[in-house]
């Protein structure tokens, strides 16, 4: 990547990370100062960027009966949840662990939806006891178990059925979820029978319908196709006397990592609402479960250049962040921009493979990146707000990174760096 131009936003339309006088800034603070103060690897988030991304959804839904349930799997750090919850979001959870975090965030439990193909009985009970708003049920077997658990607690569980509309989201196969070949949801052609069964079960209260076709979707067409398929079912159900209160269209809207041009959330929603109105479903409550599009471009991961290692085939730039902090390149061959925090006039630009210290050849963060850097310089791995920290691991006994949230000129450490003692706390010496 060539030297930064002054005052340029890193991502078009996202002014919250930008260069000023050769320094990469987050809102009003220089990222180099944060790296020096807190060490690296360090995730830094812009609160303004988070709220700006949310505002696009809120504008699109203004005046509607709607709830945005942030899919916290994208990034479940407490202070980020609190930012979104305080700005009006509900939460989409997929595990008992996320339930505990969600409740800690202060969200109204009734604004929690519980997705996922493998909810355990314990998780179901805990979620019912917490009073969540809806279970998005993904199979007939799950319907029966939830009914059983609800009756045992003397309750009715609120449910919607996640329908698999068999629509190609045209995204990476690992993050496509709405095809017949995927494990998610109830097949479209089996959905009516599943609803008939659900309304017959006394422990369930059928509230809605749900679909989610994939992640990092950069085109409106698959959404609108899925919506039509879902509305066909809502119509067929109404004809059978099964009236639904809400339609949950899941998440999946993509972000700009490199040169993608996903629709803006408000523009996409205008198309969605127009279709809902045209088919007479405009009064239904609309739920959405965005994850990546709220947090993805609100965060960067700062890392220090440890070594430049010229090779015979390519040059390696060894940095202190690795696949355990930033798993997306190793997992999906994902591309994230890697830029210097300060431009150097005296370092020659060279092509590098940017790699971490983990003992795996798959531990790379960027390939063929042209950077003008020296050892000891800092870099930012961009678009690191989603599916990075929440997927981070302790592989190679590396502690997970620290996290900082910035608003204006203020920065708050929202998660301490893990040290080896933290990890060892849960282990026991051999006594056998
Ligand atoms: C059911 C469900 N809802 C919402 C999301 C969030 O998707 P995204 O982060 O792409 O918006 C996912 C992600 O896989 C999901 O599986």
| Ligand 1 pocket, residue 115 CB under 6 Å | yes
Active site residue 89: no
Q: Which of 291, 298, 386, 391 for mutating ligand 1's site (highest number of atoms within 8 Å of CB)?
A: 291
291-317 average pLDDT score: 96
Residue labelled with tokens 């009970």: 125
Residue labelled with tokens 């493998």: 118
Cis peptide leading into residue 41 (ω within 30°): yes
| Cα 138 to ligand 1 centre (Å) | 14
Closest residue by Cα to residue 389 from 73, 90, 54? 73
| Ligand 1 pocket, residue 71 CB under 6 Å | yes
Q: What pLDDT does residue 323 have?
A: 98
Residue partners of 265: CB distance under 8 A and separation at least 6: 53, 56, 57, 60, 253, 290, 293
Q: Between residues 213 and 137, which one has the greater pLDDT?
A: 137
Ordered structural domains, the chain, with CATH = 3-46+296-424 (2.40.37.10), 115-290 (3.20.20.10)
- On whether the CB atoms of residues 10 and 382 are closer than 8 A, the answer is yes
| Ligand 1 pocket, residue 92 CB under 6 Å | yes
Q: What pLDDT does residue 345 have?
A: 65
Question: Is pLDDT of 2 > 50?
Answer: no
Question: Is pLDDT of 8 > 80?
Answer: no
Q: What pLDDT does residue 181 have?
A: 61
167-184 average pLDDT score: 63
| Ligand 1 pocket, residue 292 CB under 6 Å | yes
What is the pLDDT confidence band of residue 1, given thresholds at 50, 70 and 90? Answer: very low
The active-site residue out of 211, 301, 359, 388 is 359
CA nearest ligand 1 atom 5, residue: 251
């Amino acid at each position: 990547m060539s030297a930064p131009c002054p005052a340029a936003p890193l991502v078009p339309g996202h002014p919250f990370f930008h260069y000023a006088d050769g320094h990469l800034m987050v809102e009003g603070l220089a990222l180099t100062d944060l790296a020096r103060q807190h060490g690296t690897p360090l995730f830094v988030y812009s609160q303004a960027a988070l709220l700006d991304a949310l505002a696009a959804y809120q504008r699109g839904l203004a005046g509607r009966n709607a709830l945005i349930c942030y899919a916290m799997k994208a990034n479940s750090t407490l202070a980020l949840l609190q930012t979104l919850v305080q700005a009006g979001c509900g939460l989409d959870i997929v595990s008992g662990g996320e339930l505990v975090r969600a409740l800690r965030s202060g969200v109204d439990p009734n604004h929690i939806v519980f997705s996922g193909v493998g909810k355990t009985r314990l998780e179901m009970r805990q979620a019912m006891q917490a009073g969540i708003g809806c279970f998005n049920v993904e199979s007939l077997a799950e319907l029966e178990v939830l009914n059983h658990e609800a009756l045992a607690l003397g309750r009715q569980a609120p449910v919607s059925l996640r329908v698999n509309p068999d629509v190609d989201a045209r995204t990476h196969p690992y993050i496509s979820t709405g095809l017949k070949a995927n494990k998610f949801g109830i097949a479209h052609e089996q959905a009516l029978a599943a609803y008939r069964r659900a309304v017959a079960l006394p422990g369930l209260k059928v509230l809605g319908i749900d679909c989610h076709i994939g992640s990092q979707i950069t085109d409106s067409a698959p959404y609108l196709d899925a919506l039509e398929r879902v509305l066909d079912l809502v119509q067929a159900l109404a004809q059978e006397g099964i009236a639904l209160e809400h339609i949950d269209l899941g998440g999946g809207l993509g972000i700009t990592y490199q040169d993608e041009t996903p629709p803006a959330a408000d523009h996409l929603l205008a198309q969605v609402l127009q279709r809902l109105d045209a088919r007479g479903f405009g009064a239904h409550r609309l739920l959405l479960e965005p994850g990546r599009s709220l947090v993805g471009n609100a965060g960067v991961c700062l890392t220090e250049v440890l070594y430049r290692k010229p090779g015979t085939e390519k040059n390696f730039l060894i940095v202190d962040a690795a696949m355990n902090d930033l798993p997306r390149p190793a997992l999906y061959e994902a591309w994230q921009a890697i830029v210097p925090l300060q431009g150097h006039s005296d370092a020659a630009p060279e092509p590098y493979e940017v790699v971490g210290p983990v003992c795996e050849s798959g531990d790379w963060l960027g390939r063929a990146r042209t950077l003008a850097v020296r050892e000891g310089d800092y870099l930012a791995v961009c678009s690191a707000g989603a599916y990075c920290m929440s997927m981070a691991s302790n592989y190679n006994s590396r502690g997970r990174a620290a996290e900082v949230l910035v608003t204006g000129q203020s920065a708050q450490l929202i998660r301490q760096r893990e040290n080896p003692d933290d990890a060892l706390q849960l282990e026991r010496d051999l006594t056998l």
